[in-house]
Amino acid sequence: MNAKNEEQSSLRHASGELKKRNNELKEQLGEASLEHTALLAEVSKLQSQVVHSPERVRREMHESQRALQQERRDGEAAEAAALVAQTAAKAVVDACGKVSDATSAVGDILDLSNKCIEVGHSIKAREASIQSNRKDAAEVRPFVTPFF
């Protein structure tokens, strides 16, 4: 019976050791599970940085180059449009200056025209006065004796 007690004691001790080992393994499994979850999250985070295929990278580079070329063309077109607008604005400013000069010249011409009209009226008035004086002189002439 002693042998059976020793065997039972030995089995209880072994069972306790196995339970202890089982708890340690459960703890390790929980830690490994947490670590596995953290690693999966990191893999998912880094997945976007992984190059899946060289062809995809080439395609993306080609698309980026086309987009860059289009941006350059758009920029050049915008610069050309700005240059045209700047040239048009300068032409408008120059035209405004010329219109102002022409308006001033028209004003001067109108002033001269008005003076000419006034001179014309003055000439007509003097011609009428001269005509009247000649008429008066013709009426007075038979009564005037010449001096020589």
Q: Which of 6-15, 74-83, 139-148 has the highest mean pLDDT?
A: 74-83
Q: Is 51 in contact with 57 (CB distance < 8 Å)?
A: yes
Of 5 and 35, the structure prediction assigns the larger pLDDT to 35
Q: Is 56 in contact with 48 (CB distance < 8 Å)?
A: no
State residue 72's pLDDT score. 95
pLDDT at 7 over 80: no
State residue 100's pLDDT score. 92
Rounded percentage of the chain residues whose pLDDT exceeds 90: 53
Q: Which amino acid is at 101?
A: D
Of 36, 35, 60, the closest CA to residue 48 belongs to 60
Of 33 and 48, the structure prediction assigns the larger pLDDT to 33
Q: Which of 15-19, 21-25, 63-67, 144-148 has the highest mean pLDDT?
A: 63-67
State residue 2's pLDDT score. 80
pLDDT at 114 over 70: yes
63 token code pair: 């698309």
The DSSP-derived string for 32-98 is HHHHHHHHHHHHHHHHTTS---HHHHHHHHHHHHHHHHHHHHHHHHHHHHHHHHHHHHHHHHHHHHH
